[in-house]
Amino acid sequence: MNRLFNQFFLSLERGKVILFANVSVGATGAPTLNAIKSKGVATVVRNSAGNYTVTLNDKYVDLFHVNVNFINAAGAGVAYVYTESQDVDGAKTIVFQCKDLSGAAVDPSSGTTMQIEMKLKSSTAP
């Protein structure tokens, strides 16, 4: 990994890295990545209704956590999000699914901004 990270982060885990992605959602859930606000993220693509794949620029040892926040005055239409799969040490991907209150797959409303926070591990040290 050829990145310069800020070194001080109080944690019991070594090599903790936090990446952020800022994604605008258009018609039919189409994502547009704001590259300036998404350092370390290569792409975000829609696979199916409410299902998105985030591809990172670099490989990481492990994924600790993913959090997705929705910004939309009219409501995003999403009740919860879960991480469906991850392969941060191989394909550099994280797949997450958006669901409505009934548990059905749902795209965020057009005009919504998704703020994605990914906590990763970059070190194999214990």
Residue 47 lies in a domain: yes
In this structure, the chain runs to a length of: 126
- As a whole number, the mean pLDDT across the chain is 90
Which range marks the domain in which residue 114 is found?
16-121
81 has a pLDDT exceeding 60: yes
Instruction: Indicate whether 1 belongs to any domain.
Output: no
CA distance 102 to 81: 13
CATH number at residue 90: 2.60.40
DSSP for 29-45 reads: G-EEE-GGG-TTEEEEE
pLDDT at residue 11, rounded to an integer: 78
Residue 13 pLDDT = 81
Residue pLDDT, tens place only, 87-112: 999 999 999 999 999 999 999 999 99
**Going edge to edge, which strands form the sheet with 93-99?**
41-48, 51-56, 93-99, 80-87
- Whether residue 117 lies inside any domain: the answer is yes
6 occurs within a structural domain: no
- 7 assigned to some structural domain: no
Question: For the chain, how many structural domains are there in total?
Answer: 1
Q: What is the pTM of this model?
A: 0.90
